[in-house]
């Protein structure tokens, strides 16, 4: 069993650090998106509008993403208040990038709104990954 686990882990270990982090961040970000959407789905029926449940589910997803990214992607201690605050700040920046790019694509190009949203998510993912990799979790910062 150990040999199988070691063999399965070997390809990820051979990846350059940045590629390994990007792949891990894609997984943790995907899980956080599920938490965000699922949390919103559970909260929305209990509120008058959608803004408060959207903000609450985003915050819960950000905590999940921060914790998983800290431990699994960047291998850092998740109990750093400074790092957690920076992560949340950049998550909000990423949210703004997502909305701005979605709006820009949807209004400037003759494409469906959902395709514009995919573009917004993609640009925000790259921006968040870069901010977190090179600022929040940069090498040498503990």
59-94, pLDDT tens digit by residue? 999 999 999 999 999 999 999 999 999 999 999 999
How far from 9 is each of 4, 31, 73, 83, CA to CA, in Å? 9, 20, 14, 28
Contact 69, 132 (CB under 8 A): yes
Structural domain boundaries of the chain?
2-136
Q: How far apart are CA 30 and CA 67, in angstroms?
A: 14
Query: pTM for this one?
Result: 0.80
Q: Given the structure tokens 């949340």, which residue do they identify?
A: 88
Q: How far apart are CA 69 and CA 25, in angstroms?
A: 7
Over residues 11-30, the pLDDT tens digits come to 556 678 999 999 999 999 99
Contact 41, 54 (CB under 8 A): no
> 142: pLDDT confidence band, cut at 50, 70 and 90?
low
């Amino acid at each position: 069993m150990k040999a199988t686990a070691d063999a399965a882990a070997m390809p990820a270990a051979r990846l350059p650090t940045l590629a390994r982090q990007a792949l891990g961040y894609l997984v943790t970000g995907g899980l956080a998106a599920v938490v965000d959407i699922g949390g919103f789905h559970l909260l929305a029926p209990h509120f008058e509008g959608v803004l408060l449940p959207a903000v609450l589910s985003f915050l819960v997803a950000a905590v999940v993403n921060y914790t998983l990214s800290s431990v699994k992607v960047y291998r850092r201690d998740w109990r750093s208040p400074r790092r957690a605050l920076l992560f949340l700040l950049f998550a909000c920046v990423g949210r703004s990038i997502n909305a701005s790019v979605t709006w820009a694509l949807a209004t400037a190009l003759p494409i469906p709104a959902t395709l514009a949203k995919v573009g917004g998510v993609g640009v925000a993912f790259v921006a968040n990954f870069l901010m977190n990799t090179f600022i929040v979790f940069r090498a040498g910062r503990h």
